[in-house]
Amino acid sequence: MTNHLAILQVVLPLIAAPLCSLINQAKACWLFATTISWLVFAISLSLFIEVQTGGSIRYEIGGWQPPWGIEYHIDALAAFVLLLVSAMAAITLSAFQRRITIEIPKHKQGLFYTAFLLCLTGLLGIVATGDAFNIFVFLEISSLSAYALIALGEDRRALTASFEYLIMGTIGATFILIGIGLLYMQTGTLNIVDLQTRIPAISHLHSVHAAFAFFTIGIFLKLALFPLHHWLPGAYAYAPSAVSTFLAATATKVALYLLYRVFYTIFGSEFSFEVLQLHYILMPLSILAIVISSLNAIFQQDVRKMLAYSSLGQIGYMTLGIALFSDAGLVASILHLFNHAFIKGALFMTLACFLFRTPSLRLDDLNGAGRAMPWVGFAFVVGGLGLIGVPLTSGFISKWLLVSAVIEQGHWWLVAIIVFSSLLALIYVWRVVEHLFFREASAALVANKQPIGALLPFTWVVLLSTLYFGINSDFPVQAAKAAAKALQ
Amino acid sequence: MILANSLYLNFAIPVIGACLIALLHQRRRTVELVFIGTAAVLLWNTLHLFDLGEAAYFINVSPFSLIDSIPLAFHLEPLGLLFSAIASSLFLVTTLYAIGYMNANNEKHLARFYFCFCIAIFAVMGIAFAANLLTLFIFYEILSFSTYPLVTHKGNEAARNGGRVYLGLLLSTSIGFFLIAILWVWSSTGELDFVRNGFLQEQMPKEALIILYTLFAFGVGKAGLMPFHRWLPSAMVAPTPVSALLHAVAVVKAGVFCVLKITVYVFGLDLLSEGSASNLIIWVATATMLLASLVALSQDNLKARLAYSTVSQLSYIVVGAALATASSVAGASMHMATHAVGKITLFFCAGAIYTAAKKTKVSELDGLAKVMPITFIAYTVAALSIIGLPPMAGSWSKWFLLDGALQAEYFWVAIAFIISTLLNMAYLLPVVARGFFAPAKDNLSGIQEAPWMCLLPLSITAISCFVLFFLLQELHHFLQPLFS
């Protein structure tokens, strides 16, 4: 049994998804999907432990030997990201039941859980598989279900946001497919480990360079790296709150995983960075992402949009770590991927808590909400501090490592930019805090005593975990180091 | 083991106090008792740390590691002990005053107020005993955030704007300069631990040292060097007990304490006095000292005047640190204590005047001493101490600072000290003169002294200004290990 965990991880939610649509009864579906998600989490946890102790796992599907058969390959990085994705899925499903009941029409709820499980399947599959074409398949599974999930948003703008994401996402996925095709044409293999060994011999070919370019653009699109980010803020802002929480914490992180996998494992860091000098594109784009998105976040009236722009800036930090092209930079990048996922997830959860009593998440509707709902307001403050990177939050640890990596290379101007953008983060977070605590709450808000239910404790669990990892950072730092080592 | 337990206890006490306050927030009397009890137990425990003696200095105690190999670590050394003793003893006095003041002025959300106060003191303990730069930085930031709700306690427009400047300046300097300086030290030496005589010798080029020292001095925004001093006047929107303890003692002294500690244990006095790394900061601090005094002269609001006076006095300490001679550093350390006691008295008096007579401006104080004699006598004593006239405690610290400037052959700094002393008189004594000698403009009948819970603390601190004068020999002796 245990040696099949690698495949069960992906197959379990995949089989559960259609079952969910057969059950098609809101409460039962929720219970079923939540149980599945916790099972998946348990599996990924045991995979993680196994990888940490026994090294990476290779699983041959149907007993067919690679490179002919499809292989699942879970190394330290994959195990780390799997853990993150499955944890966020389990938390989201457990915490959001009441919000889903409110936000999504009853007859669509069964389908909602189906799409959610499919999206989870796709994200897990991208990470777990060791086969390039499989990556594309799972990418499409996760994307298509994500479009559907976003379109379920109450706001009618959710439809256009979803449509925009669909167009951009499809272009991205197609580019990635073309990249895979070109590599297959030249090497005759789709197995990632096999590709890795074959590419150096043919790396001078133009078609390999073209494949590299297609991969780059395709992944940047899925990653929402500046300037290919335009689909993201709308998608996060208008989706149902459960969806924006889950996607904000995982979708771009998996795209980032894809970036590591393609550029470090498939092409190899030497080819990607020394021959084709990817960092010369990645560095300016990261800096633009950090600065412009943070500036953009300051001027948003809708807090969810603000957080979305902040996410774009944080993605910039992660790609910046890669662009430094050093071990320390890579570790910082992977660590920030992990830390930021939980911080941003927790912040979106707090916003969902507010939604129980406020009419919307526009700043003016949040006036005094922190006073009326102190536990939620305080949660936002703690999450916001993590976003800024204040000591004792996990955001500080990843920023510390990132800035150390930057100083190690002597880029003092980059230090100035990181500091500057941290101050921008301070401004956009504090703007919300002032609305939450220093404005008079409307009478309707004060009178509204609607219970928040399980969402609030779950939000605090996630927040406390970010605080814990900020104080005792051993676990994520060691995991990130192991992951970075697996890539080299 | 004894060392670790006593040290951890100093952190546990304020946290337990804060938790109890949060749990019992419905019962006002109980909360007040817990608040005073916390302060008393904390002081008792802090004094016990002194008993451990010199043998316990510089032994690191670490609960766990933060990042990679950098631990969260604490240790004992004379400066930290001195700072913690100042903070915890004045904390006890302030708890009494705060309860009297907050009740007399009908302030709301008392439990939250006391809660944040305890957390702030917790942060101060962390700063006092931090054994490496990262630990120091972490508690420095906790102090900024935990005092923000205190500064903005009133929750109105003015409080919000004041809080914005307060947090904005403190955070941007700390992230922009302090953190970067720490990272720089870390990346070029691989060390962050405070050690006797510093660890930067022969580790960095001379030019780099100048920039590094400047980054540290400005980065510790709480030390109030111009042009990053605006947060302190902004913080005066807070209720007076906050201004008294935090912005005359805990927060600002945390700032200069950081500068002192970094000077002595990171750079080392020899390195600074031989080279010219701290020259720029000597200039800046001297200018701040004089300019802030001039600004203080022009302030009519009593608390604002005291705030600028604090900015000026903090620069005495920074100059003392930057001069890096044995005398000047001793003077700077003593000035932490003497100025703390003096300035907290002045703030207590300002708060007492506000509580009793609802007056906030210097120009309104005419003749008030006749109805509030105790308050004004206390004010006079403290003002004389800050000016530095014997037999008040402040005279000793100024003496050592002056001596240090002359030893380092910075004659213009010595002259600046003297001019600044004259300015001190010019902005502190008008209050005394108006109170005692000017005829009352408006009807003062019905005004009487503030409640005893306010009067007792300010009398205690005023008497301390006098008593400390005779204890400075011991203090100087206690600080000797800094220079050996």
* pLDDT tens readout for residues A46-89: 999 988 888 888 888 888 887 788 888 888 899 999 999 999 99
| Opening angle at CA B323, ends B319 and B329, nearest 5 | 80
Of the candidates A392, A407, A471, the beta carbon closest to that of B183 is on A407
Q: Report the mean per-residue pLDDT for chain A.
A: 89
Does residue B98 carry a pLDDT above 90?
no
Q: What integer pLDDT is reported at residue B358 of this predicted model?
A: 78
Reported as a pLDDT band with limits 50, 70 and 90, residue A1 is low
Q: Report the mean per-residue pLDDT for chain B.
A: 84
Reported as a pLDDT band with limits 50, 70 and 90, residue B1 is low
Distance CA A468, CA A78 (A): 23
Instruction: Name chain A contacts of B64, Cβ cutoff 8 Å.
Output: 471-472
A202 residue type, one letter: I
Residues linked to residue B301 through DSSP beta bridges, in sequence order? B361
Find the chain B residues whose C-beta atoms sit closer than 8 A to any C-beta of A. Answer: 64-68, 72, 137-138, 141-142, 145, 152, 155, 159-160, 164, 167-168, 171-172, 175-176, 179-180, 183-184, 186-187
Q: What integer pLDDT is reported at residue A145 of this predicted model?
A: 94
Range picked from A124-128, B18-22, B85-89, B235-239 for highest mean pLDDT: A124-128
C-alpha count within 13 angstroms, C-beta hemisphere, residue B332:
32
Distance CA A441, CA A373 (A): 10
Give every CB contact of residue B242 below 8 A, 6+ residues apart in sequence: B117, B147, B150, B151, B153, B235
Q: What integer pLDDT is reported at residue B368 of this predicted model?
A: 76
Instruction: Name chain A contacts of B137, Cβ cutoff 8 Å.
Output: 391
Identify the three-state secondary structure at position A74: strand
Does residue A409 carry a pLDDT above 90?
no
Give residue limits of the domains in chain B: 1-277, 278-484
Identify the three-state secondary structure at position A70: coil
Q: What integer pLDDT is reported at residue A348 of this predicted model?
A: 93
Tell which wins on pLDDT, A62 or A333.
Answer: A333
Q: Do A423 and B176 touch (CB under 8 A)?
A: yes
Q: Do A438 and B160 touch (CB under 8 A)?
A: yes
Give the residue on B whose Cα is nearest the Cα of A331.
Answer: B68
Of the candidates A415, A423, A477, the beta carbon closest to that of B180 is on A415
Q: What integer pLDDT is reported at residue A245 of this predicted model?
A: 92
* pLDDT tens readout for residues A174-211: 999 999 999 999 888 888 888 888 888 888 889 999 99
Q: What integer pLDDT is reported at residue B228 of this predicted model?
A: 86
Distance CA B215, CA B219 (A): 5
Of the candidates B64, B175, B186, the beta carbon closest to that of A472 is on B64
Q: Do A391 and B168 touch (CB under 8 A)?
A: no
Q: What percent of chain A has pLDDT over 90?
A: 45
Q: How far is A143 from chain B (nearest CA, A)?
A: 36
Q: What integer pLDDT is reported at residue B359 of this predicted model?
A: 79
Identify the three-state secondary structure at position A138: helix
Does residue A2 carry a pLDDT above 70?
no
* pLDDT tens readout for residues B402-431: 888 888 888 888 888 889 888 988 888 888
Check if the beta carbon of residue B244 is closer than 8 Å to that of residue B97: yes
Does residue A38 carry a pLDDT above 80?
yes
Does residue A123 carry a pLDDT above 90?
yes
Tell which wins on pLDDT, A43 or A66.
Answer: A43
Q: B406 exposed, middle or buried (CB, 10 Å; 0-12, 13-18, 19+)?
A: middle
Q: What integer pLDDT is reported at residue B221 of this predicted model?
A: 83
Residue that has been written with the tokens 């779950």 in this structure: A458
* pLDDT tens readout for residues B270-324: 777 777 778 888 888 899 988 998 898 888 888 888 888 888 988 989 988 888 8
Reported as a pLDDT band with limits 50, 70 and 90, residue B484 is low
Reported as a pLDDT band with limits 50, 70 and 90, residue B366 is confident
